[in-house]
Chains A and B, each alone.
Chain A
Amino acid sequence: MSEFEIPPPPKGGAGALLPPDAGRDRPLFIVAAILVFLACIAALGARGAWQQSQRWTEDLQTSLTVQVRPVEGGSASEDAQRAADIAAAMDGVANATARDRAHAERLIAPWLGTENIPDDLPLPLIVEIRLEPGIEAPLDALREAFDEAGINASVDDHSRWADAVRGAATRSQTLALALLALLAGAAAAVVAFASRASLAARVDVIDALHLCGAEDRYIAILFQRRFFMLGLKSGAVGAIIAVIVSLLVGTGSQAADASFFLPSWENNPFEFLLLAIAPLLAGATAALSARLAVITDLGRRW
């Protein structure tokens, strides 16, 4: 039995072999948090852009517009209704709605105004057809059926500008992904750089442990664990701030178009996944670069 009081084990287990942060790691913490924040914002924005362009192309692909022109002695609105019924009966058509004359007047109002349209001006009426998703538009069948029923109708599948919209959608998706990749890459590089820098200040610890017979793995794990926790914490802070910002931005703008490329919070799994993954990635990057730095440093010693 020793007559001296043996000090209690230090708090923090093996981790206590490393010096406490003492503010030395604050730059790394802040930089990592900012970059994770930006990457999350970019991811949420990219998600918005992606969804928006997805919606455009889907709309275009699943809708047809039919113009029903009045024929001599016939009623345009009756023809429109018949056309809608014919279309609705077809395979692959989800629904077909005949729009009335008021709708047609509204469409031309920007050019002619509301006052100047004579009641008897023959206006083409619109029938909107929604297709079931994934169905090839039955253009020929529709045209044939309208001809047979004696309806003067033209069917438009938007193909003239669908390609342009699709192109724009693809470009904005690519841009969003590229932006995300760039920010994620920059975040990883900076986190790696900063963890190396704050490791350099602890060479004395690596030295002492190494010279006391610690195995490389033992030393690497100490630093790895420390930097993983650091990256995790700062990543969590960055991700949470990104969520707050996107919630704020989301409440401000109602129209979907206005939030294009702006982060928005929609309570879907993607967001929760992002929130979980971003800090983990930051932690893993910091841990990995700390490990590489320690192993490289140790490797130089023998």
Chain B
Amino acid sequence: METSIDPSFSNTSYETSAPVIRFDNVGMRYDQGPEVLRDLSFDLPRGSFQFLTGPSGAGKTSLLRLIYLAARPSSGRISFFGRDTATLSREELPHLRRRIGVVFQEFRLLNHLSVFDNAALPLRVAGKKRSDYAEDVAELLAWVGLGDKMKANPATLSGGEQQRVAIARAVVAQPEILIADEPTGNVDSEMAMRLLRLFVELNKLGTTIIFATHDLQLVRLLDAPVMSLAEGHVHIRAPRSQRQAEYQRAEDEAAAGHREAFEDIGRPPLDSPDGAERDE
């Protein structure tokens, strides 16, 4: 049943360029509450596609809020494009934010604006002229299957349609980083596939993507690194192809090393730590 999407896309600039986002021992708590996130350290390379998974309440949204600058870490350091966010002033914030597109878990559409105007909002607040962006916005909405709903009020749309408006709004300004919090949570698996393909296309164009989802089926479709959150800690699993390559290399090395000593043994005596996931 599983359709595979070009497995090579996410590795184009992996490991070669400087990280767009870097977390150093980041911790986060709400007010005086317990730490929701603890001691997170990771780099997100430019142009990468990163899944973020974890059970409900694991802190996915909280982590994404840190990334889209809606919250400050209570400890540790986050840097964006090499810039420590603690030193960001309020005046700089909007400009940095325009480089980040966000699909919110709860959409946050404005129900007094049409679908078209919702999708065009980031362009509008950036001071762009309507006549300059109208065509692009219309095309984008058509692309997410909302071409005939541009005048509609978002409140009259289905959850999946609202989600697509939210996605259109997040990508319309061609952000360098795209953060999507459960962007396929309200659509059927066919639409989820289509939307995932949209994200993949954007990633191919150079957008760094962080895609939070519960849907492990979707995660398996791509050969992308997976960040999983549990009990405030993060575990990053390399892309499947890389793990397989490493496994293969280890296997080869081990095989080479062991060949002489164990000429007569058919299988190398190595056990993959990811063995369980190889036979998906």
Please measure, in the bound complex, the distance between the C-alpha atom of A216 and the C-alpha atom of B116, giving whole angstroms.
24
Residue B197, interface by CB 8 Å: no
- Whether B108 sits at the interface, judged by CB under 8 Å, is yes
Look across to chain A and name the residue whose beta carbon is closest to the beta carbon of B125.
Answer: A214
The yes or no answer to A6 lying at the interface (CB within 8 A) is yes
B 59-76 contacts with A by CB, 8 A: 68-70, 72
Partner of A4, one of B122, B138, B169: B138
Does A212 reach chain B (CB closer than 8 Å)?
yes
Which of B6-14, B89-97, B211-219, B244-252 touches A? B89-97
* Inter-chain contact A208/B116, CB cutoff 8 Å: no
Is the pair A214, B147 in contact by a Cβ cutoff of 8 Å?
Answer: no
Q: Chain A binding site: helix, strand, loop or mixed by DSSP?
A: loop
Closest Cβ of chain B to A214, distance in Å, is 4
Please report the C-alpha to C-alpha distance between residue A13 and residue B188 in the assembled complex, in whole angstroms: 37
Say yes or no: A213 contacts B138, CB within 8 Å: no
Known: A213-B125, A302-B72. A7 touches B150 (CB 8 A): yes
Residues of B within 8 A of A211 (CB): 68, 70, 97, 102, 104, 108
Residues in A whose Cβ lies below 8 Å from that of B130: 9
Residues of the A chain whose Cβ atoms lie less than 8 Å from the Cβ of B94:
210, 213-216
A36, B104: Cα distance in complex, Å: 43
List residues of chain B with CB within 8 A of the CB of A141.
Answer: none
Please state if B97 and A4 are interface contacts (CB–CB under 8 Å). Answer: no
A56 within 8 A of B: no
Within residues 1 to 36 of chain A, which ones have a CB less than 8 A from any CB in chain B?
1-7, 9-10, 16-20
Is the CB–CB distance between B90 and A2 below 8 Å?
no
A209: interface (CB < 8 Å): yes
Give B201-232 as 1s and 0s: 1 = Cβ < 8 Å from A's Cβ atoms: 00000000000000000000000000000000
Cβ contact within 8 Å between A10 and B117:
yes
Contact at B70–A301, with CB atoms within 8 Å?
A: yes
Task: Report Cα–Cα, A216/B125, bound state, in Å.
Answer: 11
Chain B residues contacting A2 (CB-CB under 8 Å) are 135, 138-139, 142
Q: How many A-B residue pairs have CB under 8 A?
A: 87
Q: Does A218 contact B (CB under 8 A)?
A: yes
Instruction: Evaluate contact between B95 and A6: CB separation under 8 angstroms.
Output: no
Most buried by A among B72, B90, B109: B90
With A and B bound together, what is the CA distance between A172 and B142 in angstroms? Answer: 73
Contacting pair B108 A6 (CB below 8 A): no
* CB proximity to A under 8 Å, residues B93-128: 93-95, 97-98, 102, 104, 108-114, 116-117, 121-122, 124-126
Alpha-carbon distance A211/B70, docked complex (angstroms) = 8
A110 contacts chain B at the CB level, 8 A cutoff:
no
Docked Cα-Cα span, A3 to B98, in Å, equals 29
Q: Output the least CB separation between B98 and chain A (Å).
A: 4
A108 beta carbon closer than 8 Å to chain B = no
By size class, the interface of chain A is 20 to 34
One of B88, B102, B113, B139 near A10 (C-beta < 8 A): B113
B98 touches A208 (CB 8 A): no
Task: Give 1 or 0 for each of A194-237: 1 = CB within 8 Å of chain B CB.
Answer: 00000000001101111111111010000000000000000000
Is B90 in contact with A299, judged by CB distance below 8 angstroms? yes
Given A6-B116, A211-B102, A302-B72, A216 and B138 contact (CB-CB distance below 8 Å): no
CB B122 to nearest CB in A, in angstroms, measures: 4
Cα-based distance from A6 to B72 in the complex (angstroms): 39
Asked if B108 contacts A208 (CB within 8 A), the reply is yes
Q: Which B residues are CB-close (under 8 A) to A20?
A: 112
| Contact status A209-B125, CB under 8 Å | yes
CB distance from B97 to the nearest CB of A (A): 4
* Cβ-based interface call for B151 (8 A): yes
Residues of A within 8 A of B173 (CB): 213
A231 to B276, CA, bound (A): 67
CB pair A10 B121 closer than 8 Å: no
| Interface flags, A281-302, vs B, CB<8A=1, else 0 | 0000000000000000011011
The reply to whether the CB of B165 lies closer than 8 angstroms to some CB of chain A is no
Please tell me if the beta carbons of A302 and B142 are within 8 angstroms of each other in the complex.
Answer: no
From the candidates B112, B126, B135, B148, name the one contacting A213 in the complex (CB within 8 A): B126
Residues of the A chain whose Cβ atoms lie less than 8 Å from the Cβ of B108: 204, 207-208, 211
Q: Are B113 and A17 in contact (CB under 8 A)?
A: yes
Task: Tell which of A7, A19, A204, A301 touches B114, judged by Cβ atoms closer than 8 Å.
Answer: A7
- Please tell me which one of the listed residues B68, B90, B110 contacts residue A216 in the complex, with CB atoms under 8 A apart: B90
Nearest CB on A from B264, distance (A): 65
Residues in B with CB closer than 8 Å to A10 are 113-114, 117
List 5 extra interface pairs beyond A7-B116, A215-B91, CB under 8 A: A10-B113, A19-B110, A205-B110, A209-B125, A213-B126
- Ranked nearest first, the 5 interchain pairs of A and B with the lowest CB-CB distance are A214-B125, A213-B98, A19-B112, A2-B138, A212-B122
Return 27 A-B CB contacts under 8 Å, by A number. Answer: A4-B138, A4-B142, A4-B147, A5-B150, A6-B116, A6-B134, A7-B117, A10-B113, A10-B117, A19-B110, A20-B112, A208-B108, A211-B68, A211-B70, A211-B104, A212-B125, A212-B169, A213-B95, A213-B97, A213-B173, A214-B125, A215-B94, A216-B90, A218-B125, A301-B70, A302-B90, A302-B93
Interface residues of B (CB under 8 A from A): 68-70, 72, 88, 90-91, 93-95, 97-98, 102, 104, 108-114, 116-117, 121-122, 124-126, 130, 134-135, 137-139, 141-142, 147-148, 150-151, 169, 173
